[in-house]
């Protein structure tokens, strides 16, 4: 195994993440995708890059500052990684703006969807925008001239601001030469021109353009000689020492405010900002010139996503679809009877998430239901799931909810959610100290005759109605006795901190999931060594755990055919001679965010199929509470393999193949186009 631990066999996780962003940006260039959806992909890439800097780059900067010598399997130091990230990230940013300015905006303009710059405003538009500025903007903006009494302000994380150069003196005879103007966060960054001023139905102006055009009005008696937008990205990771706090909710509430003013890790400036001003801004945020990113357009591309939602042009978007209702639930109005007749598997977004909400609603109304237990990681406070749990608690059911307060960037929403549920009498706990509760479980306990029966739902994704239409995920309904007992034990473990004991069917992190995956991989390797058929098929979001990768390498050397479908980060190098020649890695990037975790092992012809909330990452195996559950019904096993392995391996339109050097090559179809997501829409929704 020592040879399989060589750093040459591992792709750096941060560089792999940047490669994923490259694949997302490539969607914006795909002529087969409707133009408004291509704009959305540019915005998504911008949002992903923001989080990459807020968390991953920020963490590397901290390690570098503290002189950390910690290295991953690739043996790259924090400084090594930062040195490679910077040119790649700048290349991606440049490509985003090139696609936006040279491709998408001209295409949108031809469709009557226009983003107007001040040079394009006619007299009527200019007059309306000036009136808008005076009524909506001027009263709430407070420019700050820079002098000893007015030090440089601290803009919030990712907020829009301007640096203005000035000639002349103010009313008090001061002449600082510079001022900072921060855009109000309360106003939308995109303004739609009204019918009275527009020449077409869909004409928009950026708030930044309105402010730039009227910036001189903030400085009467002075001359604004330049105005340049900028945005600073800050370290947004939260630190709470859970061993030292008495109340995790209150501790997180206190920590959330610091996220807005964390250490700066990136400065974005307008492309035309003079070098001396860019250097001045960088110095204020204690950043080097390498950490300055020039933007040929709005400094926050994510704001342009509003155009996609505001424009009613179905012909320029993906075709609409209606998620199917599973036949078992169509045939029986009582969901408990449907589940009792056999396990029900839902594949989202192709099949509707509504049956799960109905399941909770029926449970809330059913006098025979005594208790509901559920985990919530990301769900949203205005969710039908939450409302059903509130109704159940108000109806006198015993409602227990395990809320993960530390779900990144959803902390505030989850704190609000916890407060809401507690106010109606639900019992709320926050999981386990030191571990995030990432498992997706729901259990309803119902009295039926003289017995109490458990009805469970286990999933690969969050209980979030909106993402259930955007992410691919599986959800399994079952009243299997042993599965129900396992779920009950896990809930007891989360609430009373006792040992769950041995689970009969569910694999659980941080206890049995990692070791069992290694055993299953080794079992396939042993079969291959004996000349027996062997195969491993796995689909996940990320693959970086070193022991798993080494086990896959060893299995490949033994002759096991291994097919991996990894959406994002992958540290494993396929196609390395003598090591991973039997391993293929593909990534699917399409209309929906691939989110299913499916692990399949040939098992000598009696194929084992597992669904899981966990990726093959160290944090999922060792730092989170996760579940991995078997699909035991033969028909459902075949269905999962067909829909998630066969269908995705056949994809030749939205599939990217990982090369040994860490780059990806998009598969090209020569005759018949095969796109997995499109195939599943046709297969399950028609």
Give the catalytic positions in this structure. 438
Under DSSP, is residue 594 helix (H, G, I), strand (E, B) or coil? strand
Which tokens belong to 157? 């994380």
What is the rounded CA–CA span in Å between residue 540 and residue 9?
20
What is the rounded CA–CA span in Å between residue 597 and residue 565?
10
DSSP states of 234-281: E-------TTS-S-HHHHHHHHHHHHTT--EEEEEEETT--HHHHHHH
DSSP states of 551-571: HHHHHHHHT-EEEEEESS-B-
Encode burial over 501-511: b for 16+ CB neighbours within 10 A, e otherwise: eebeebbbbbb
- Distances from the Cα of 573 to the Cα of 170, 452, 595, angstroms: 62, 50, 22
Say which DSSP state 169 is in: -
CA–centroid distance for 96 within its chain: 19
What is the rounded CA–CA span in Å between residue 204 and residue 438?
41
Contact indicator for 211, 138 with CB cutoff of 8 Å: no
Encode burial over 282-296: b for 16+ CB neighbours within 10 A, e otherwise: bebbebeeebbbbbe
- Distances from the Cα of 562 to the Cα of 107, 292, 553, 559, 636, angstroms: 42, 42, 10, 9, 22
Among 400, 425, 420, CA closest to 494: 400
What is the rounded CA–CA span in Å between residue 630 and residue 612?
9
């Amino acid at each position: 195994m020592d040879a399989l631990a060589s750093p040459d066999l591992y792709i750096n996780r941060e560089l792999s993440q940047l490669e994923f962003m490259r694949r997302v940006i490539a969607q914006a260039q795909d002529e087969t995708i409707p133009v408004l959806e291509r704009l959305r992909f540019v915005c998504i890439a911008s949002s992903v890059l923001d989080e990459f800097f807020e968390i991953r780059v920020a963490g590397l900067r901290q390690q570098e500052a503290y002189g950390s010598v910690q290295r991953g399997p690739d043996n790259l130091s924090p400084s090594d990684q930062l040195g490679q990230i910077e040119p790649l990230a700048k290349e991606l940013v440049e490509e985003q703006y090139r696609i936006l300015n040279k491709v998408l905006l001209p295409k949108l303009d031809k469709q009557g969807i226009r983003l107007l710059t001040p040079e394009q405003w006619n007299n009527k538009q200019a007059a309306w925008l000036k009136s808008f500025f005076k009524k909506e903007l001027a009263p709430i903006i407070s420019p700050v001239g820079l002098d000893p009494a007015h030090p440089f302000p601290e803009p919030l994380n990712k907020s829009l601001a301007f640096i203005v150069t000035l000639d002349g003196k103010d009313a008090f005879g001061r002449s600082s030469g510079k001022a900072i103007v921060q855009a109000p966060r309360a106003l939308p960054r995109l303004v739609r021109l009204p019918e009275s001023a527009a020449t077409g139905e869909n004409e928009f102006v950026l708030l930044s353009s309105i402010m730039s055009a009227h910036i001189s009005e903030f400085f009467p008696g002075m001359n604004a000689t330049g105005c340049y937008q900028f945005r600073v990205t800050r370290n947004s990771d939260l630190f709470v020492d859970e061993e030292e706090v008495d109340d995790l909710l209150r501790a997180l509430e206190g920590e959330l405010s610091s996220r807005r003013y964390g250490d700066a890790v990136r400065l974005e400036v307008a492309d035309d900002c003079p070098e001396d001003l860019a250097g001045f801004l960088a110095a204020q945020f204690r950043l080097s010139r390498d950490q300055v990113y020039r933007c040929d357009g709005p400094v926050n591309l994510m704001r342009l996503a509003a155009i996609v939602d505001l424009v009613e042009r179905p012909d320029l978007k993906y075709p609409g679809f209606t998620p199917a209702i599973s036949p078992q639930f169509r045939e029986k109005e009582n969901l408990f009877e449907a589940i009792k007749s056999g396990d029900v598997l839902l594949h989202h977004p192709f099949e509707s998430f509504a049956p799960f909400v109905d399941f909770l609603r029926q449970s809330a109304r059913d006098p025979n239901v005594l208790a509901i237990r559920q985990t919530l990681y990301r769900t949203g406070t205005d969710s039908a799931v939450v409302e059903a749990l509130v109704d159940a608690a108000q109806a006198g059911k015993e409602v227990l909810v395990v809320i993960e307060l530390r779900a990144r960037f959803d902390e505030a929403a989850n704190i609000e959610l916890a407060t809401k549920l507690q106010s109606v009498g639900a019992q709320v706990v926050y999981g386990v100290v030191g571990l995030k509760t990432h498992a997706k479980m729901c259990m309803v306990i119902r009295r039926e005759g003289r017995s109490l029966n458990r009805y469970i739902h286990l999933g690969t994704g969050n209980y979030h109605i909106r993402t259930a239409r955007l992410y691919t995920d599986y959800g399994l309904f079952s009243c299997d006795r042993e599965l129900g007992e396992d779920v009950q034990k896990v809930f007891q473990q989360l609430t009373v901190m006792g040992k769950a004991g041995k689970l009969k069917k569910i694999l659980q992190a941080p206890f049995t999931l990692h070791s069992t995956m290694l055993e299953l991989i080794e079992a396939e390797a042993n079969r291959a060594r004996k000349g027996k058929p062997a195969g491993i098929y796995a689909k996940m979001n990320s693959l970086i755990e070193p022991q798993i990768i080494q086990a896959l390498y060893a299995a490949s050397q033994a002759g096991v055919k291994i097919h991996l479908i990894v959406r994002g980060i992958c540290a494993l190098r396929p196609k390395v001679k003598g090591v991973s020649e039997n391993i293929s890695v593909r990534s699917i990037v399409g209309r929906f965010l691939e989110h299913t975790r499916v692990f399949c092992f040939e098992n000598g012809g009696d194929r084992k199929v597992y669904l899981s909330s966990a990726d093959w990452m160290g944090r999922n195996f060792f730092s989170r509470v996760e579940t991995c559950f078997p699909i035991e019904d033969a028909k459902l096993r075949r269905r999962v393999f067909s829909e998630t392995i066969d269908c995705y391996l056949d994809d030749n339109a939205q599939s990217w193949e990982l090369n040994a050097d860490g780059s990806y090559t998009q598969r090209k179809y020569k005759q018949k186009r095969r796109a997995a997501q499109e195939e599943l829409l046709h297969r399950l929704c028609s």
